[in-house]
Amino acid sequence: MIKKGETRKMAASIAKYFTLDTSLYPTTGLVFYKFDNSQADNFVNDCLIPFREAYISDEKLKSIIDEYETPREVEILERLPIKADVKSGDFGEILSFYLACAIWAPTVNVMPMKWRFKDKKDAPSHYTDIVLFKLGDPSDPTKMSANDAMITFEVKTKATKLGNQTYPTHKRKSYITYKDGRLECTILEAVFDANKDAVERAAETIPYLKTRCKDLGLKILHDQIDRFSKATSVTYKKDHNAVAIVDSAHLADQIGRVPVDLLAQHPLVKTVYCLPIENLKTIYERVFSEMPKKA
């Protein structure tokens, strides 16, 4: 399992391309991070190893190559998604994972890379997109503290222009949700699904992670996560967040579709981050195309 220090180092190498921008749409309540597009080439290059690590560790990769005598490029390629929508989704989630570790939740010390747990490379990872944990003593999870925390991030990525479709309205009135009948909006989707994490999905993610840890022989990680599945007298903090990653060319349209009561109607969502990135599709396609040869 990758060491925390290595994860933080990789996270810092990616986070340096993003800066907090309080001048963008200050009345929306969203938190914007501006991408340094002038450094796009360097950014792609700095993403290659951290993104490959999100799918398979270097140690595991070398072990497979030695045992099966296969090319490194082939082994990396076998683990990367082919479908465009899964590439887009994985890119946004992995990027947000590293930004969370570096900036948004820097005190976490248990950082599962859920993309390693995928059983199908062209399917999204199961349950909550990103689940990070803070333990007072990661080496002994039985030492529970009220300062322990579970921090989640629901991520939506949209590299193309929004269409004019509305979300379907359920025929049964009792099943109608906040989203039903509204114009599609990536920010709305991120907040809506982050609220699902807070209500039910984050709790469902923990047993899934524990089972996958057992399947993969990750005993230490299993025991660290297990602390958050037990009903004890020592409670822990829960923060649920949303992330929307969009092409900067379509940011104004996205903002124009954000309902004025979106945040008020979803109080369980702590923070909503928005990352507008110029030429987003080109960037994530480059990351995936260059990863097998260079990571």
Neighbours of 107 (CB within 10 A): 9
Q: Got the DSSP string for 77-117?
A: HTTS--SHHHHHHHHHHHHHHHHIIIIISTT--B---GGGG
Q: How many CA atoms lie within 13 A of 114 on its CB side?
A: 28
Question: Which of 54, 75, 29 is CA-nearest to residue 191?
Answer: 29
Angle at 287 between CA 285 and CA 292, to 5 degrees: 110
pLDDT at 107: 95
Structure confidence by residue, pLDDT tens digits, 62-107: 999 999 999 999 999 999 999 999 999 999 999 999 999 999 999 9
Instruction: Classify 288 as helix, strand or coil.
Output: helix
What are the backbone dihedrals phi and psi of residue 272, each rounded to the nearest 5 degrees, phi first?
A: -115, 115
Question: Which parts of the chain sit beneath pLDDT 50?
Answer: 1
Burial of 84 (0-12, 13-18, 19+ CB in 10 A): middle
pLDDT at 104: 98
* d(C-alpha 26, C-alpha 52), whole Å: 35
Q: Are strands 31-35 and 269-277 parallel, antiparallel or unpaired?
A: parallel
pLDDT at 4: 67
pLDDT at 146: 84
pLDDT at 231: 61
- Token pair belonging to 163: 């269409």
Would you list the domain boundaries of the chain? Answer: 4-294
- Token pair belonging to 186: 């990536």
293, 74 in Cβ contact below 8 A? no
